[in-house]
Amino acid sequence: MASVATNGISIEYDIHGDDDAPPLLLVMGLGGQLVQWTLPFVEQLVDRGFRVIRFDNRDVGLSSRIDAPVPTRREILTAIASKRYAKSAYTLADMADDTAGLLEAIGVERAHVVGISMGGMISQSLTIRHPRRVASLTSIMSNTGDRRHGRMHRSLLRKAPRYLARDPAQRVENGMEMFRLISGPHFDAPAVRAMLEESTARSDDLDGATRQTMAILASPERTWDLRWVEAPTLVVHGLLDRLVMPSGGIATARSIPGSRLIMYPDMGHDLPGPRWGELIEEIVLNTRRAEGGSAAQPAKIA
């Protein structure tokens, strides 16, 4: 792994694959570190001919921490109730600029971009703000910032707080229960535990994830700006997603001209192993559209 200075901060990253292969950038979600793009998933992308770049977003993992107060639970809940109460030290636009700066620093003029959850939001913002950097866009289980679509299910909003305890000794177990809540029927407990243990060993600081939450809540809606996106776009969502309801994926696909929407009936807010092959094939097909391949097809439930 290595780090670069960009946008006034340090970003930790790693690269897998041949130097002359087409670059594919993976953008992780809320509080997630680059290792949550697990090596078996990355290796499948490398096998399909990509140079895969993973990185830690600001405020998590080994990237820079932002010197700003940690929002309280009350402040977060108030911001959820009304955007006008969302006060953040940075927004998704700043995180998109970090991402563009990383690409510039490592000499990548243009990349295929795949973002998951908050990473999908960052990837959308990157495509809006730095369109020449994005060859193709894949937005997975995300939304456009429109609060009417892609909200958290009420039942999850009631259950999730109990698993956000800050005791370091409980982080892996709490993380296991949280992933169990948001995942679909293919929840792989050993794989999730290994990923959480690796993440905690790299960094056990949770404050950045709380600031990232407020950054999401403070960021403006992207629906209008997404109408001008020209990069070939794939939108993926799970029909069982309770963290970002499926309406978020539908709204994203409707906002981006020519986008392709894939919805998996056995996927929650996770990347189920049994679906990796199909998902990676869809990503590959989307990258080929950037190279002058076939046009988008209608949305489908896989």
Residue 8 has a CB neighbour count (10 Å cut-off) of 12
Query: Is the C-alpha dihedral spanning 273, 277, 279, 283 positive or negative?
Result: positive
What proportion of the chain, given as a percentage, has pLDDT over 90?
Answer: 80
Structure letter (DSSP) for residue 78: H
26 burial type by CB count under 10 A (0-12 exposed, 13-18 middle, 19+ buried): buried
- Tell me how far CA of residue 63 lies from CA of 43, 96, 205, in angstroms: 23, 15, 12
Q: Are 209 and 59 in contact (CB under 8 A)?
A: yes
Q: How many CB atoms lie within 10 A of CB 250?
A: 18
Q: Which of 159, 184, 152 is nearest to 271 (CA)?
A: 184
Average the pLDDT over 72-79 and give the result. Answer: 88
124-169 pLDDT tens trace: 999 999 999 999 999 999 999 998 998 888 777 666 655 555 566 6
Give the domain range for residue 151: 2-301
Query: How far are the Cα atoms of 96, 215, 216, 245 from residue 146, in angstroms, in the given order?
Result: 18, 15, 11, 12
Number of folded domains that form the chain = 1
Residue 270 reports pLDDT greater than 80: yes
Summarised one tens digit per residue, pLDDT across range 104-113 is: 999 999 999 9
> How far from 279 is each of 35, 185, 215, 273, CA to CA, in Å?
19, 17, 29, 10
Confidence of residue 170 (pLDDT cuts 50, 70, 90): confident
| Domain at 272, CATH number | 3.40.50.1820
Those residues whose C-beta lies under 8 Å from the C-beta of residue 292, and which sit 6 or more positions away, are none
pTM of the predicted structure, to 2 decimals: 0.94
